[in-house]
């Protein structure tokens, strides 16, 4: 590892063999915490390249638990998630929108965890709704086949990551961000065909577009929203503009910017979309899908679900997808997907 640290200090880019060696060392329980911390610190100081990040993701996925979801019947597979870190305390937008996307014909393979940068992560709000997080693989598959949506709990599918916990804790005390602060949305062990990732940091747009193309996504949309005063949002934004980088095996990288008014939606303030703890956000989610909530929170879900539907080819254009998402919620089909997921996870 000392040789790799010196390569990184010198600004060199690690190749596949070097990354695989480093990944194995990082996930070794009895390896030196100091050496592992030094490596991650120096790599972050140099700046991880898209190629290096993609190679680390591939190496980590080799030791992840495979949920065996490669041959699901029905529509395309997609994951929808954000990096977190926008510090706006919004309700669980992507977790709500996944039920709309599933009702639109996709198999949503939602990979997520408990909240780290927010009061309520995807796992927290689903648990509050009555969804069991630790489903056996066979039951998870049955849930997806019947409801169109399943939750892949990161803690259960990446057990090897326990070994890196003390290293991450030490670096967090220093205020040092590392590779592991970047790769959460990239580690879905089901390897979905399509992926919509929200990034709070605008600089990650081209980086994630490059990585997801290297990882073999057929279609990947990386989205960075903004508030009216320029703060970053890790979702399609109803508070300002949204920049989208599209990539994947079926297309080259494309870049465009949209605003809510492009789709007949009104711009709102962050306070209109703020959530709370898991119980509060669970009520918001259910109220949106059941038609009780008809204001900005519903529109935020419609906008983000429309992005997911278009990303995986279930709508040709975002404006068509906005109308489709609205109709899906009005029909009660999205709520049915939630109720099925709860029932099938018991």
Distances (CA, A) of 187 to 83, 142, 152, 230: 12, 22, 11, 29
- So what's the pLDDT on residue 252? 66
CB contact at 8 A, 99 and 335: yes
Q: What is the CATH number of the domain that holds 236?
A: 3.40.1030.10
Bridge partners of residue 244, in order along the sequence? 223, 256
Residue 118 has pLDDT above 70, yes or no: no
Distances (CA, A) of 200 to 12, 86, 128: 28, 5, 26
Q: At what angle do helices 333-344 and 93-103 cross, to 10 degrees?
A: 100
Q: How far apart are CA 267 and CA 315, in angstroms?
A: 23
What is the 8-class DSSP label of residue 118?
Answer: S
Least confident of 57-71, 113-127, 168-182: 113-127
Ramachandran angles phi, psi of 2, nearest 5°: -60, -35
pLDDT digits over 36-49, tens only? Answer: 999 999 999 999 99
Domain-embedded: residue 227: yes
Torsion sign across C-alpha atoms 249, 217, 313, 268: negative
Answer whether residue 75 shows pLDDT above 90. yes
- Indicate whether 44 belongs to any domain: no
Q: What is the pLDDT of residue 144?
A: 97
Q: Using CA atoms of 209, 214, 218, 224 in order, give the dihedral in degrees to the nearest 10.
A: -10
Residue 323 lies in a domain: yes
At residue 24, does pLDDT exceed 60?
yes
Provide the pLDDT for residue 84.
87
Specify burial of residue 181 (Cβ count, 10 A radius: 0-12, 13-18, 19+).
Answer: middle
Per-residue pLDDT at 8:
98
pLDDT tens digit string along 180-210? 989 999 999 999 999 999 999 999 999 999 9
Q: DSSP of 245-307, one letter per residue?
A: EEESTTS--EEEEE-GGGGT-----GGGGB--SHHHHHHHHHHHHHTS--SHHHHHHHHHHHH
Domains: count for the chain: 1
CA dist 143 and 326 (Å) reads 24
Give the single-character DSSP code of 330. H
What is the end-to-end Cα distance of the chain in Å, rounded? 46
φ/ψ bin of 193: left (φ > 0), alpha (ψ from -120 to 50), beta (otherwise):
alpha
Assess if residue 31 is contained within a domain. Answer: no
Q: Is residue 115 part of a domain?
A: yes
- pLDDT value at 129 more than 80: yes
Backbone angles phi, psi at 113, to 5 degrees: -150, 180
Domain assignment present for 267:
yes
What local confidence, expressed as pLDDT, does residue 251 receive?
A: 65
In-domain check, residue 35: no
To the nearest whole number, what is the mean pLDDT of the chain?
Answer: 95
Q: Can you read off the two tokens belonging to residue 194?
A: 């399509």
Instruction: Please state, in angstroms and rounded to a whole number, the distance separating the CA atoms of residues 101 and 185.
Output: 18
Q: Note the pLDDT of residue 29.
A: 93
- For residue 249, the model assigns a pLDDT of 80
Q: What are the start-end ranges of the E strands in 173-265?
A: 194-198, 219-226, 232-233, 242-247, 254-258
Q: How confident is the model at residue 310 (pLDDT cuts 50, 70, 90)?
A: very high
Residue 230 has pLDDT above 80, yes or no: yes
* Sign of the alpha-carbon torsion through 84, 86, 90, 96: negative
Q: Is 92 contained in some domain?
A: yes
The CA distance from 250 to 192, in Å, is 14
* pLDDT, position 343: 97
Containing structural domain, residue 231: 77-154+190-344
Tell me the C-alpha distance between 272 and 155, whole Å. Answer: 32
């Amino acid at each position: 590892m000392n040789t790799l640290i010196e390569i990184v200090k010198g600004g060199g880019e690690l190749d596949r063999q070097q990354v695989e060696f480093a990944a194995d060392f990082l996930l070794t329980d009895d390896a030196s915490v100091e050496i592992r911390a030094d490596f991650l610190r120096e790599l972050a100081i140099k700046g991880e390249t898209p190629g290096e990040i993609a190679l680390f993701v591939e190496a980590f996925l080799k030791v992840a638990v495979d949920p065996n979801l490669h041959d699901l019947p029905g529509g395309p597979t997609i994951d929808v998630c954000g990096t977190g870190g926008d510090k706006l305390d919004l309700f669980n937008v992507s977790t709500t929108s996944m039920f709309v996307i599933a009702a639109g014909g996709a198999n949503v393979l939602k990979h997520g965890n408990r909240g780290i940068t927010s009061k309520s992560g995807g796992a927290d709000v689903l648990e509050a709704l009555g969804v069991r997080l630790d489903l056996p693989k066979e039951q998870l598959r049955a849930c997806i086949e019947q409801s169109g949506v399943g939750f892949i709990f990161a803690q259960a599918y990446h057990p090897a990551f326990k070994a890196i916990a003390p290293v991450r804790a030490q670096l967090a005390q220093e205020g040092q961000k590392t590779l592991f602060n970047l790769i959460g949305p990239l580690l879905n062990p089901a390897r979905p065909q399509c992926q919509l990732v929200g990034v709070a940091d605008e600089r990650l747009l081209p980086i994630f577009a490059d990585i997801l193309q290297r990882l073999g996504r057929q279609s990947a949309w990386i989205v960075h929203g903004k508030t009216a005063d320029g703060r970053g949002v890790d979702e399609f934004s109803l508070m300002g503009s949204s920049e989208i980088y599209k990539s994947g095996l079926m297309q080259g990288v494309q870049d465009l910017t949209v605003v809510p008014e492009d789709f007949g939606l009104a711009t709102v303030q962050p306070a209109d979309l703020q959530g709370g703890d898991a119980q509060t956000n669970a009520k918001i989610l259910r109220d949106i899908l059941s038609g009780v909530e008809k204001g900005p929170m519903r529109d935020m879900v419609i906008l983000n679900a429309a992005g997911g539907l278009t990303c995986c080819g279930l709508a040709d254009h975002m404006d068509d997808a906005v109308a489709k998402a609205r109709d899906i919620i009005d029909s009660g089909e999205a709520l049915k997907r939630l109720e099925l997921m709860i029932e099938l996870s018991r």
